[in-house]
Amino acid sequence: IYEWAAPGIASHIEKINNIPYNSFPWANERAMQGDIVYFTSLAELPEEAVIDRENWRIDHIKSLISIPLTYQGNCFAVLGFA
């Protein structure tokens, strides 16, 4: 995992490394399907993303784009900007 943060923005890399896979079930399902997840406000997320929304809220994430990286149709990583 690599992280870049603007001056004055706290690093999250240690926390990111320890996030359980099931913390973002809706977004993970989208990634496994090859879908890009993006929102400019947590309010845009669908009802079925309730767990993801709460975890992003706790982490003070207000907007995000998450792009699945795939090889031969399988998602092996996600490139995300928040």
Q: What is the pLDDT of residue 42?
A: 98
Separation of alpha carbons 52 and 80, rounded Å? 14
Q: What is the pLDDT of residue 11?
A: 81
Separation of alpha carbons 54 and 78, rounded Å? 20
pTM of the model: 0.84
Q: Which residues of the chain have pLDDT under 70?
A: 1
